Amino acid sequence: MASPTSLLKRLLLGRPFRSDRLQHTLLPKRIALPVFASDALSSVAYAPDEILLTLSIAGASAYFFSPWIALAVVVVMLTVVASYRQNVHAYPSGGGDYEVATVNLGPKFGVGVASALLVDYVLTVAVSVSSGVANLGSVVPFVATHKVLIAVSAVVLLTAVNLRGLRESGTAFAIPTYGFVIVMLGMLLTGLFRVFVLGDELRAPSADLVIQAEHSVTGFALVFLLLRTFSSGAAALTGVEAISNGVPAFKAPKSRNAATTLLLLGTISVSMLVGIIWLARLTHLQFVEDPNLQIVSGPEGYVQKTVTTQLGETVFGSGSILLYVLAGVTALILFLAANTAFNGFPVLGSILAQDRYLPRQFHTRGDRLAFSNGITFLALFAIVLIVGFQAEVTKLIQLYIVGVFVSFTVSQVGMIRHWNRHLRTERDPEARRRMIRSRAINTFGAGLTGAVLVIVLITKFLLGAWIAIAAMAVIYVLMLGIRRHYDRIAVELTPPDEGRAVLPARNHAIVLVSKLHQPTLRAIAYARATRPDTLTAVTVNVDEKDTRDLQADWERREMAIPLTVIDSPYREITRPILDFVASTRRKSPRDVVTVFIPEYVVGRWWENLLHNQSALRLKGRLLFEPGVMVVSVPWQLASTASKNLDRLDATLSRTPARGPRSAVPPLVATPPVAPAPPGQGGPENSETMGNTRD
């Protein structure tokens, strides 16, 4: 009978996968596109909003610049896509920007890129889910009034889906992703067809609003505003790097499939971004940063809707089924866009853990062959951001894209060094031509993304980008500290090159005693079986009557080993034992002291609260004493007979039990057993129980 926790886990996550089924999780291109490209595809749902609302600061006339801003974003996107096609061919192992920077620029550059990507992945989840809530709230008022709760619920749901395994999550996301692309392109084509072929005059719901500029923007201020608008629109590029990190998840040929997916991603994203901005200009759509202050004249009770919702209402008509379909798939793809981060963050975390920059637990796959720890950590930090910024896209977007452009720029510089290194040894003319062409693409990409990074830092630093930069710095220092810790431990654990390990001169055994019962007898018998040089039993005198009773019982049973009583006037147990152990070892630095601690083994969780507390404290403290070995001598209480050992085995191994466990006879009460003569094992070797004072 499975436990409720195990049953719930299997219900949510499914049955565990064997390690040899890892090939089951590899993705074909048709599934890899929604898995790894949903972030970049969905960003066209909020990148146009950010372009228009930033331009609105200068008034409605500034919308004239929106097509040119979109064109600049398109140029950067196509450049980044072309650059990363070179990356996936050169580095198909899945390290992406981290591997490129580490191999070509050094480990510290690699760690810097990794810290930027980790921060950006967290922000991807927070921004995408928050934007999805905003789009859904445009047509469902309940969502708008409970956006934080719904955003957090969406992250929890995404976490559960991804914990089921990469192939399953990809299949679940393929239909809504392709549905979004079809509905969005269908809306754009329908709108353009009505304008240019049918001659309809389409006007967005916000076309007749009268808005005012927040500030008078001319000269340098206008240039700064355009740069800030461009940096906000560059959010459309986020997610491109995820494919280079996820190359191992593709089916063979991995590099070619990843490069093809990148090309599809760039083509679809560019088409939708240009189409939305173009149709927005044709319909005179207006979208402002602060409706309460900027809208001077408008309908009674006007509520600003997102750009895609306004376009859908203009093309399909207010209240039409297609409008709700558009709003639904847009919200859904924005929720699912976070899946790009859920697939990229754990893989990158696993690589960093393998390189000892993150805890090793990040390298471990869960029951469903997914990197469960990385998925869980990503979800937790994303929820913190969503709650902290109240799921406000405009606030979160200011922290966004800093990390991704750091990784873009450093990666392209690394690729330039990669091609230079190979060109020094390559002699085949055709291969050299390909390398020179690839180097030219990466050089142009490095220059362009570097310029965008400078623009982003200048225009967004005081608006919130400093938070992302500070987070990158903290993660960078933390990862270097983790690496130093692992390196230091590795040095300490490395055996010497020459000579054998020095054997201890003598082994002094100490058995801790509270009462002379079967647990104590088992511990003494086991200690004697190890044949130490000296063997003594030790008890701490915290109660005169109990100690006298113990001594009398010890003499009555004619125990073969001496009993040492340590006085403790302040009724302390741990410190007197530590002092006694230290004094025993001080006689010779090469001596070893082995402390035998009897412990109860209980079958019910609440019984642990009633037993073994002193033993746990002593063990925890003795582990820090050099030259001291701690041995736990267990005694199974009768309650352990009802313990479901098959379920315990399955829980500990994280796999189903392989077969029925041999029956364990029930424990029966046994009479006290007299100690065996010195040098011989007695029946207490099989009937034992022990604990320090409970």
Query: What does the pLDDT read at residue 476?
Result: 95
Separation CA 154–CA 141 (nearest Å): 17
Helix (H) or strand (E) holding 315: helix 307-316
Query: What does the pLDDT read at residue 618?
Result: 84
Residue 295's SS3 state is strand
Query: What does the pLDDT read at residue 417?
Result: 92
The string of pLDDT tens digits covering residues 132-175 is: 888 788 778 888 888 899 999 989 888 887 776 644 455 666 78
Query: What does the pLDDT read at residue 170?
Result: 58
Separation CA 107–CA 112 (nearest Å): 9
Separation CA 656–CA 461 (nearest Å): 52
Separation CA 45–CA 47 (nearest Å): 6
Query: What does the pLDDT read at residue 215?
Result: 66
Beta strands in 389-493 (DSSP E): none
Query: What does the pLDDT read at residue 589?
Result: 72
Query: What does the pLDDT read at residue 168?
Result: 47
- Residue corresponding to tokens 């801790």: 512
Query: What does the pLDDT read at residue 172?
Result: 65
* Contact (Cβ atoms closer than 8 angstroms) between residue 205 and residue 287: no
Query: What does the pLDDT read at residue 677?
Result: 38
Query: What pairing do the DSSP bridges indicate for beta strands 507-512 and 592-601?
Result: parallel
Q: CB under 8 Å to 579, separation ≥6 — which residues?
A: none
Q: What is the b/e burial string over 241-273, where b = at least 16 CB atoms within 10 angstroms of the residue's CB?
A: bbbbbbbebbeeebbebbbbbbebbbebbbbbb
| Residues of the chain falling short of pLDDT 50 | 1-12, 18-24, 166-168, 367-369, 652, 654-694
Which residue(s) pair with 634 in the sheet?
Answer: 599
Query: 146: which 2 tokens?
Result: 């409970």
Query: What does the pLDDT read at residue 480?
Result: 94
Find, among 573, 572, 565, the residue nearest to 549 by Cα. Answer: 565
